Amino acid sequence: MSKNYLNSDKHKQEHSHWDRRGFLKVLGIAGAGSISLANSHLSVINSSFVSNALSNSISDRSLVMIRLKGGNDGLNTIIPLYDFDNYVSKRPNIHIPNNNLIKLSDDFSIPRHMDSLIPFWKEGKMKVVHGVGYENQNLSHFTSSDIWATGTRNKSDMSTGWIGRFYDEKYFDYTINPPEKPLAIQIGSTANMIFKGDQRSYAFAVANERRLEKVAERGEFFSTQNLPDCTHGDQVEFLRKVSNTTYSYADVISDAFKKSNDFDSYTDSNLDKQLRLVARLIKGGLGSKIYMVSLGGFDTHGNQPTTHQSLLTQLSKSIETFYNDLNYDGLDSKVLTMTFSEFGRRVRENGSEGTDHGSSAPVMLFGTALRGSSFIGNHPSLTDLDRRGNMKHNVDFRSIYQTILSDWLCGDSKYINKAMLGENYELLGLGFNCDDKEMVDYDSLLNYHHPIYSSGKDRVHLSLRLKQNHNISINVFDILGRQVSRVYNGELQRGEHNFSLSENEFRKLSSGQYFYSINISGGKTLSKSFIVR
């Protein structure tokens, strides 16, 4: 890639986008920015059922994903001291000088402007996964972002994301059994492909933190006040009211926001403002399991030393403040944070004191749950490069996904298999697992109901598996929400249990659709729909 790439038509084309908000501007609701609903440009992740079921099944763990947009330069983030001479020779003008480094180990260091992360490293709350990428790295921002989001290079499989597929498989009755809370919250840009399922996106997505804060403060997306007293004003009011009812989680988000308080150490930086809102929603008990925020500007083709230093300083300080906030409320052990970017940068600097699009880069993880700071995987060689002059990856990015789904979100293997498109990737030892003492794997309590034919009649039984003793109440409701039977109420011992759902006081329920609800001691609730024929 030449030093003129920054000004090339190809690079400009890479960063162009379609303005699809003209119609919304006419209606007076363009302020929503990039909000997605289903497959349209108004996209909200209508995923209460998923969120509710997930929050009930996976204790109160959350994942915060920080997207570093543009392709973060991993070599100036985690510096290989063991090969420092090679590093300097390939980057004579943009390398981090030795006197500006802070050692994490004998082999690796971080720039001094990332010193806010030192407490994480010293206290065992930081892990770095070296050389994360995939075979034959695509160097387009958009294509590589799609590959990271979907987990595949196969265009026929690139219509859904890895999290979207996971929940498509896990919650097949999502449409008829909606949840009370959103599964995921995304701030920045359009709704990310990561959350897109076959029919819907599983995240509540807003273009920026200002939009989310307005939702949190007033419980609606669009104000219906101070509109002009005319036909146009009436039409705008109608459309805004319709939109507000579409965003059915606005009031839930507002409730969580108002139940928590601000932490006074945040600044006005872009990432601080996003993480401040995420922290308030977590502290307010929103129950969403996945949050995504973003920090742009990492496409450092020119003037990298100044730009990259500013970005990494902001990233480090924001993570420090975010965890100080969570720690104040005793929630830091429940939140895992990871950074990721669509690709790294070229090993050799270009002629504009920058770096061009590269391949593998480190992924950083933060949180008490990591139980010890360390490096995962081998750092890529600075001399054994591919034909483009890029480092070869050593860890497939999908290994991180599979590890998080398996060991942090504690997903069932068959759902993870669906999310990973039938492929198995190596699990990384990140320090946490699903047998932690503070974890109650509520998901393991519930197996799918299954029809059992007996004496020529179609009966529906609930198969339930407990890992420990619980007080449990099981009830059945019709589609109007009326309780039609109490299946069980009392303490159940650990082990497997079976209950009939299709009978009420020894009489078979009428044919139709029903829902059962399992209320567990501690306020947890699980529910599913079933059909009696």
395-437, pLDDT tens digit by residue? 999 999 999 999 998 887 888 999 999 999 999 999 988 765 4
Identify whether residues 479 and 397 lie together within a single domain. no
pLDDT exceeds 70 at position 262 = yes
Residue 391: strand pairing partners: 385
Residue 367 lies in a domain: yes
Identify whether residues 318 and 373 lie together within a single domain. yes
pLDDT exceeds 80 at position 174 = no
| 187-196, 396-405, 414-423, 481-490: the lowest-pLDDT one | 187-196
**Residue 237's pLDDT band (boundaries 50, 70, 90)?**
low
Taking residues 233-253, what's their average pLDDT?
A: 61
Q: Output the pLDDT for position 167.
A: 78
Q: Output the pLDDT for position 80.
A: 98
Taking residues 154-165, what's their average pLDDT?
A: 90
pLDDT exceeds 90 at position 462 = no
> What letter does residue 392 receive in the DSSP assignment?
P
Identify whether residues 278 and 327 lie together within a single domain. yes
Q: Output the pLDDT for position 235.
A: 64
**Residue 218 DSSP SS3:** helix
Q: Which class for 461: exposed (0-12), middle (13-18), buried (19 or more C-beta within 10 A)?
A: middle
Residue 322 lies in a domain: yes
Q: Output the pLDDT for position 39.
A: 29
Identify whether residues 408 and 497 lie together within a single domain. no
Tokens representing 465 are 């598996």
Interior/surface letters 427-451, b for 16+ CB within 10 angstroms, e for the rest: ebebbbbbebeebbebbebbeebee
Whose CA is closest to 35, among 164, 245, 149, 190? 190
Taking residues 106-122, what's their average pLDDT?
A: 97
Residue 3 lies in a domain: no
Residue 508 lies in a domain: yes
Identify whether residues 156 and 73 lie together within a single domain. yes
Q: Output the pLDDT for position 25.
A: 32
Interior/surface letters 167-187, b for 16+ CB within 10 angstroms, e for the rest: bbbbbeebeebebebbbbbbb
Identify whether residues 381 and 506 lie together within a single domain. no
Half-sphere exposure of 351 (CA within 13 A, CB side): 7
Q: Model confidence over 364-406: pLDDT tens digits? A: 999 999 989 999 999 999 999 999 999 999 999 999 999 999 9
Residue 334 lies in a domain: yes
Q: Output the pLDDT for position 183.
A: 79
Q: Output the pLDDT for position 468.
A: 64
Residues in Cβ contact with 278 at an 8 Å cutoff, skipping those fewer than 6 apart: 64, 185, 187, 291, 293, 322
Dist CA 390 CA 117 (whole Å): 27
Q: Which class for 355: exposed (0-12), middle (13-18), buried (19 or more C-beta within 10 A)?
A: buried
Q: Model confidence over 67-112: pLDDT tens digits? A: 999 999 999 999 999 999 999 999 999 999 999 999 999 999 999 9
Residue 453: strand pairing partners: 458
CA 140 to chain CA mean position, Å: 22
pLDDT exceeds 50 at position 162 = yes
Query: How many helices and strands in the chain, by DSSP H and E?
Result: 14, 23
**Residue 249's pLDDT band (boundaries 50, 70, 90)?**
confident
Which helix H or strand E contains 220, and what residues bound it? none
**Residue 306 DSSP SS3:** helix
Identify whether residues 187 and 95 lie together within a single domain. yes
Number of domains forming the structure of the chain: 2
Residues in Cβ contact with 192 at an 8 Å cutoff, skipping those fewer than 6 apart: 67, 149, 161, 186, 203, 205, 292
Higher-confidence residue: 484 or 169? 484
Higher-confidence residue: 448 or 455? 455
pLDDT exceeds 70 at position 118 = yes
For the domain that residue 469 is a member of, what is the CATH number? 2.60.40.1930
- Compute how many other C-beta atoms are within 10 angstroms of the C-beta atom of residue 35: 24
Residue 214: strand pairing partners: none
Q: Model confidence over 316-346: pLDDT tens digits? A: 999 999 999 999 888 899 999 999 999 999 9
Rounded mean pLDDT of the chain?
80
Residue 118 lies in a domain: yes
Q: Which residue segment(s) compose the domain that 216 sits in?
A: 34-227+246-419
Residue 431 lies in a domain: no
Work out whether the CA dihedral 494, 498, 501, 507 comes out positive or negative. Answer: negative
**What is the distance between the terminal CA atoms of the chain, rounded to a whole angstrom?**
65
Residue 85 lies in a domain: yes
Identify whether residues 396 and 449 lie together within a single domain. no
Dist CA 192 CA 184 (whole Å): 11
Q: Which class for 323: exposed (0-12), middle (13-18), buried (19 or more C-beta within 10 A)?
A: buried
Identify whether residues 357 and 498 lie together within a single domain. no
Dist CA 151 CA 396 (whole Å): 10
Identify whether residues 496 and 527 lie together within a single domain. yes
Please, where are the H alpha helices in 95-249? 118-122, 141-150, 162-170, 209-218, 231-246
> What letter does residue 355 receive in the DSSP assignment?
-
For the domain that residue 151 is a member of, what is the CATH number? 3.40.720.10
Higher-confidence residue: 315 or 241? 315
Dist CA 483 CA 504 (whole Å): 11
CA distances in angstroms from 118 to 115, 222, 252, 375, 421, listed in the order given: 5, 42, 36, 14, 38
- 353 with 94: CB under 8 angstroms? yes
Identify whether residues 360 and 291 lie together within a single domain. yes
Q: Output the pLDDT for position 524.
A: 60
Dist CA 255 CA 220 (whole Å): 11
**Residue 248's pLDDT band (boundaries 50, 70, 90)?**
low
Q: Output the pLDDT for position 479.
A: 73
Identify whether residues 44 and 149 lie together within a single domain. yes
Higher-confidence residue: 467 or 408? 408
Q: Output the pLDDT for position 30.
A: 33
Residue 477: strand pairing partners: 483, 515
Q: Residues in the chain, how many?
A: 533
Give the orientation angle of helix 270-283 with respect to helix 250-258, to 10 degrees.
90
Q: Output the pLDDT for position 70.
A: 97
